[in-house]
């Protein structure tokens, strides 16, 4: 499955961010939902995240896309809260410690 974020406009011209989950095997849209979380929007727009098996890693956080929900037949579009599991403060960092760019949790550079 492929995840795409795009901007859409309502009939009155208001734009909002939406995610589309697209299945390559069946060439169908599995879900299309509104995204309002600034962390998710910012990371997708800046492309500053690491994607591994449906988990988006950045800083000391991870968002897991619930692909398992999209395999089921849906009679309604799911919400952002249903589509993502959010985990914060994965590592027990001391006061003032940060994750350095180029480490596995921030970058795929070391996954070669």
List per-residue pLDDT tens for the chain, 112 residues long.
676 767 777 777 777 888 888 888 888 888 888 888 888 888 777 777 777 888 887 777 888 888 888 777 666 777 888 888 888 877 777 787 776 655 545 444 444 4
Do residues 32 and 48 lie in contact, with contact meaning Cβ atoms separated by under 8 Å?
no
- Find, among 7, 36, 30, the residue nearest to 78 by Cα: 30
Task: Show me where the domains of the chain are located.
Answer: 2-111
pTM higher than 0.75, yes or no?
no
How do strand 61-65 and strand 84-88 relate by DSSP bridges? Answer: antiparallel
């Amino acid at each position: 499955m492929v995840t795409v974020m795009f901007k859409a406009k309502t009939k009155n011209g208001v734009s909002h961010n939406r995610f589309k989950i697209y299945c390559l095997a069946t060439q169908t849209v599995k879900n299309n939902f509104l995204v309002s979380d600034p962390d998710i929007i910012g990371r997708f727009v800046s492309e500053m995240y690491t994607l591994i098996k449906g988990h988006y890693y950045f800083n000391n956080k991870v968002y897991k896309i619930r692909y398992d929900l999209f395999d089921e037949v849906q009679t309604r579009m799911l919400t952002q809260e249903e589509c993502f599991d959010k985990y914060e403060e994965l590592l027990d960092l001391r006061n003032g410690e940060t994750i350095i760019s180029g480490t596995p949790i921030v970058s795929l550079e070391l996954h070669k």
